[in-house]
Amino acid sequence: MRRPAAVWCVAALVLCAACGNSNLTKRELVVVFSPTATAAQHAAVVQACANATPKASPEPLPSAFAHASDSVGDVRFRIDHASDRDLNTLLQCLRHQPGVVGFQTPEAGG
């Protein structure tokens, strides 16, 4: 009878360890730009929307790209703790920025 209890304890410990894994809770929003958007427009989006909400913070921009197509999704915001209202505020800011054509929220781990 003790064996099932031990199995449940181990399962609970594994689940608790997974809950503390920041990779499982990392959420980000990727800003998608038109292929003709300039590097200045990318930087302007980060500047304009960095403080749209305190629950969404921009990730640093990469320093350089080998190809212009590499920069289409280079602007990213961490939204780990953002509420629906925070996300809406950020999206409203992004929608008003030149060169932005959309956004994505990739699944964690993929």
| Residue 58 in domain | yes
Q: How many domains does the chain have?
A: 1
pLDDT digits (tens, 9 = 90+) for 31-42: 999 999 998 999
For residue 1, the SS3 value is coil
pLDDT digits (tens, 9 = 90+) for 74-92: 899 999 999 999 999 999 9
Q: Residues with Cβ < 8 Å from 48, sequence gap 6 or more?
A: 93, 96, 97
| Residue 4 in domain | no
Structural domain range at position 75: 23-104
Q: Which helix (H) or strand (E) holds 76?
A: strand 75-78
| Residue 3 in domain | no
CA separation for the pair 32, 76 (Å, rounded): 9
CA separation for the pair 83, 36 (Å, rounded): 32
